[in-house]
Amino acid sequence: MPTYSIGLDFGTESVRALLVDVATGEAVATAVEAYSDGVIDERLPGSTNRLPPDWALQNPADWLTGLERTIAAVLAQSRIDPSTVAGIGLDFTSCTVLPARADGTPLCEIPAFRGERHAWPKLWKHHGAQAQADRVTAHAAARGEKWLARYGGRISSEWLLPKALEIAEEAADLFEAADRFVEGADWVVWRLTDTLARNACAAGYKGTWHKQEGDPSHDFLAGLRPGFEALYASKVPRDVVSPGTAVGHLTPAWAERLHLPVATAVAAPIIDAHAAVLGGGVAGPGTFVMMMGTSTCHLLLADAERPVEGMAGVVEDGIVPGYFAYESGQAAVGDLFAWYAQHAVPPAYHAAAAKEALSVQAQLTSKAEGMGPGSSGLLVLDWWQGNRSTLGRSDLSGLIVGATLSTRPEEIFHALVEATAFGTRAIVESYTDQALPVSSIVAGGGLTRNAMLMQIYADVTGRQIAVAGAPQASALGAAMLGAVAAGARRGGHDALTDAVARMAPGPARLYEPIEANRRHYDLLYREYKRLYDYFGRGGSEVMRTLRGMRRRM
């Protein structure tokens, strides 16, 4: 009789459950439940006060309701014997963090605090802590904290330290009342198992934790604000566990509520994008993973920790125990194409798209198909949101060169696609320059549906690209963690790599570099890199100057 694992994928708007056969990875059933309160960015539930701009909260009750309903749904759909469910794994947006009491009660569920906005979980895209983030970065730079380089020299407002400091500064009583600051993923596991641990993935990428060096020092935190050292001293869980480690088993109450055995193992969770590495079939060095959506997240496993230019983070045991997991990113990819389609494509193209029931981007793609490398005569620097990866500069901006009166929209679109591929190649080279091998690429996310784009990426990077075969790669990755937690006595590296090898489907599609195109793109990439160095490394500071003039006017 088969054994099953349930992967729970907690996204921004909803949670998905995926019931998977542990032996084969076959997806037996799936269900999605939207959060009742969704993203709370206007008013707290039951309140009429408007939240400040840039705020984004969630209701932790939605997470529990969502997992209960989706698990019930996949059990009902599949009609399997619930006693054959051996494990549960979770992936989660991050850094989505909440203050809680020592018994796990979120502060927002305590009546006295329910109307306090700082009592609620701050969603990953809560941007209210930008001032705190800037101060954390500046303070770390001033003290020469060496961990700053692991994050490309910049602490994001989305991460733990700024979000916790925002509470400490703006709601000191709540900071005081919070016995724990917990990632949403860890809080759900805490609820299910009555055991609190800190997952290494979120801790490392978003919580400034390092396996050898631990957390930032008491002195560093006290220097930010007297008393803030309490954060790591007592409020953040001390027990850090790598993804797939069995944190515990379902409590009797939760076993009953979910109609699952109390023996069901619950795995240490993982960040959603990182779960897709596993679901995409990657569990070892040499394969570069791209999750391509509005922005692109790049992940690479390697044997060693090295100073990769502009990386967003590197975490030992962050994805697969025993490996260092590197993360980089391109801030505007799908967002850049969407900007172009919305703000710079003329009516005739919109009309043609509507007539053929295509998106404008699909229409542009159909007109651009068959264009060769450089045939637009255009070259683009894809820095519409700055370059936060290899160059680590948010003050850069987009550039288009080569326009003539005969330039047409599909040519601009083609050049924008090429530019994002060049940006990816620059990131790949930031790894290979450090002798971290990248022999092939696995891609996931919405943009993989664009075959022209994928071929350009293969031609530009000169590497085979496999489109991940699992339609729900993150949920599958989470289910793999559940399988490992259930099955492996020793847990860890081998169990997870075995699970990935066994449970990941083959690629949906393969794109091989076309040799003639690759050679042309080598020439064009050389030109791209010249512009990249000139505008990105101090040859010209015009982008920074223009941003400054724009702010001042």
Window of 3-11, 29-37, 128-136, 518-526 that interacts with its own copies by CB under 8 A: 518-526
Strands 465-467 and 509-511: antiparallel
Window of 122-130, 251-259, 272-280, 407-415 that interacts with its own copies by CB under 8 A: 407-415
User: In the structure encoding, which two tokens stand for residue 189, read together?
Assistant: 């596991």
Q: Is the peptide bond before 95 cis (omega within 30 degrees of 0)?
A: yes
Nearer to its own copies, 147 or 339 (CB): 339
226, 405, 489, 538: which one binds its own copies (CB under 8 A): 405
The answer to the question of residue 516 lying near its own copies (CB under 8 A) is no
The answer to the question of residue 36 lying near its own copies (CB under 8 A) is no
Window of 228-236, 367-375, 425-433, 467-475 that interacts with its own copies by CB under 8 A: 367-375
Could you tell me the smallest distance in angstroms from the CB atom of residue 90 to its own copies? 32
For residue 339, the Cα-to-chain-centroid distance in whole angstroms is 21
Site size with its own copies, rule: CB under 8 A = 52
Touching its own copies, residues 321-360 (CB under 8 A): 332, 335-336, 339, 342-347, 350
| Residue 183, helix vs strand vs coil | strand
Cα separation of the two ends of the chain? 70
Nearest 5°: the CA angle 81, 84, 90 is 115
131, 172, 403, 501: which one binds its own copies (CB under 8 A): 403
Nearer to its own copies, 27 or 379 (CB): 379
279 forms bridges with which residues in the sheet?
A: none
The answer to the question of residue 1 lying near its own copies (CB under 8 A) is no
440 forms bridges with which residues in the sheet?
A: 287
Nearer to its own copies, 295 or 434 (CB): 295
Could you tell me the smallest distance in angstroms from the CB atom of residue 407 to its own copies? 7
Closest CA relative to residue 179, chosen from 116, 122, 110, 267: 110
59, 376, 387, 424: which one binds its own copies (CB under 8 A): 376
The answer to the question of residue 53 lying near its own copies (CB under 8 A) is no
The answer to the question of residue 461 lying near its own copies (CB under 8 A) is no
Closest CA relative to residue 282, chosen from 429, 463, 480: 480
Cα–Cα distance for residue pair 396/547, rounded to 1 Å: 8
Query: For tokens 């303070």, what's the residue?
Result: 139
Closest CA relative to residue 108, chosen from 95, 122, 94, 96: 122
The answer to the question of residue 404 lying near its own copies (CB under 8 A) is yes
> Which amino acid makes up residue 538?
G
43, 408, 502, 537: which one binds its own copies (CB under 8 A): 408
The answer to the question of residue 47 lying near its own copies (CB under 8 A) is no
240 forms bridges with which residues in the sheet?
A: 198
Window of 81-89, 165-173, 234-242, 394-402 that interacts with its own copies by CB under 8 A: 394-402
Residue 519's CB is within 10 A of a number of other CB atoms, namely 13
Cα–Cα distance for residue pair 479/456, rounded to 1 Å: 33
Window of 40-48, 189-197, 507-515, 529-537 that interacts with its own copies by CB under 8 A: 529-537
Q: Tell me 150's DSSP state.
A: G
Window of 123-131, 207-215, 303-311, 406-414 that interacts with its own copies by CB under 8 A: 406-414
Could you tell me the smallest distance in angstroms from the CB atom of residue 523 to its own copies? 7
The answer to the question of residue 60 lying near its own copies (CB under 8 A) is no
Window of 9-17, 110-118, 456-464, 541-549 that interacts with its own copies by CB under 8 A: 541-549
Closest CA relative to residue 7, chosen from 282, 244, 297: 244
45, 293, 402, 471: which one binds its own copies (CB under 8 A): 402
Q: 40-64: buried (b, 16+ CB within 10 Å) or exposed (e) per residue?
A: bbeebeeeeeebeeebbbbbbebbb
Nearer to its own copies, 224 or 415 (CB): 415
User: In the structure encoding, which two tokens stand for residue 218, read together?
Assistant: 């008491």
Q: Tell me 181's DSSP state.
A: E
Nearer to its own copies, 73 or 524 (CB): 524
* HEC profile of 54-89: CCCECCHHHHHHHHHHHHHHHHHHHCCCHHHEEEEE
Nearer to its own copies, 46 or 346 (CB): 346
The answer to the question of residue 395 lying near its own copies (CB under 8 A) is no
Touching its own copies, residues 475-494 (CB under 8 A): none
The answer to the question of residue 531 lying near its own copies (CB under 8 A) is yes
169, 255, 366, 534: which one binds its own copies (CB under 8 A): 534
| Residue 523, helix vs strand vs coil | helix
Could you tell me the smallest distance in angstroms from the CB atom of residue 545 to its own copies? 6
Calculate the CA dihedral of residues 534, 535, 538, 544 and round it to 10 degrees: 160
Nearer to its own copies, 349 or 431 (CB): 349
Give how far Cα 545 sits from Cα of 401, 533, 535, 539, Å.
19, 17, 12, 13
- 34 Cβ neighbours under 8 A, 6+ residues apart: 13, 14, 66
Nearer to its own copies, 23 or 523 (CB): 523
Cα–Cα distance for residue pair 118/113, rounded to 1 Å: 9
Residues at the interface with its own copies (CB under 8 A):
332, 335-336, 339, 342-347, 350, 371-379, 384-385, 397-405, 407-409, 412, 520, 523-524, 527, 530-531, 534-535, 540, 542-543, 545-547, 549-550, 553
